[in-house]
Amino acid sequence: MDNSLPRHIAIIMDGNGRWAKKRFMPRSFGHRAGAQTLNKLLKEADKIGIEHITVYAFSTENWVRSDDEVNTLMNLLKEYIEDYIKDNSKSNIKIDAIGDLSRLDEDLQNKIKKLEKISSHKKGLNLHIGLNYGGRDEIVRAAKKIFEDIEKGNILKNDINENLFSSYLDTKNIPDPELVIRTSGEQRLSNFLLWQSSYSEFYFTDKLWPDFDIKELNNAIEQFKNRDRRFGGR
Ligand code: FPP
């Protein structure tokens, strides 16, 4: 195993809309291309030995987009899941969703459950899809669950520490991302994995998400390898 490789890469797949606009096409065209880019990338990342990829597919803030775009994204996700289930024997990738799934429509929630079940025995890369995901929302939901467990007497106030808190987050079984990638020239976290990215390295590229490719992934990993990670030490 290559110890200098990040085990977990988190990706903010930004720029689908602009990519479509440049081609005089609707935004949905860009999202569709973005989903294909993700699939290509997953295969490559699995090959080089990345263990986890978390993508921001739909944020708690994305509901304010037009009904048309929200529906497109939800339908695209359903299609993506259906395709995976149909061709499931061909894939090595294990998938689950993070975020507050209770706000998604029942059909999508059921599809996610089925997808997680079907892929649970896979041995390849773990893909975590952020759906109605927001870092602050995740932290608030964790705080509520901790409070409930204190009320029930399952834990004591003094048991609360960083490790315990982490175990109440959606990412409880996932190592923190060592590398966060954002495409399309924007340089902000936009409420993605707030707790988990405390010590992450960041890689920003002007490439729009549908144009992201293996070359760009390798650039990001190369830059990561050359960073001096001190974790607050010297
Ligand atoms: C940001 O680009 C992208 C999104 C809000 C959605 C990302 C979704 C996908 C790539 C496809 C579906 C995902 C899966 C897992 C199948 P933007 O629309 O904000 O682009 P813009 O900034 O150029 O307008």
Confidence of residue 228 (pLDDT cuts 50, 70, 90): confident
- Domain layout of the chain by residue ranges: 8-133+177-224
Residue 92 annotated in active site = no
Residue 230 has pLDDT above 70, yes or no: yes
- Its CATH class, for the domain covering 8-133+177-224, is alpha beta
Residue 14 Cα to ligand 1 middle (Å): 6
pLDDT of 123-174, one tens digit each? 999 999 999 999 999 999 999 999 999 999 999 999 999 999 999 999 999 9
Q: Which long-range contacts (CB under 8 A, 24 or more apart) does 148-151 make?
A: none
Under 8 Å between Cβ of 14 and 206: no
In angstroms, the CA 43 to CA 214 distance is: 10
Helix (H, G, I), strand (E, B), or coil: what is residue 223?
Answer: helix
Question: Is the CB of 15 within 6 Å of ligand 1?
Answer: yes
Return the ligand 1 atom nearest residue 20 CA: 23
Task: Determine if ligand 1 sits within 6 Å of the CB of residue 112.
Answer: no
Q: Is 55 in the pocket of ligand 1 (CB under 6 A)?
A: yes
Catalytic residue flag (residue 137): no
Q: Say if ligand 1 is within 6 A of residue 14 CB.
A: yes
Q: What is the pTM of this model?
A: 0.96
Minimum CA distance residue for ligand 1 atom 8: 57
Q: Are 191 and 180 in contact (CB under 8 A)?
A: no
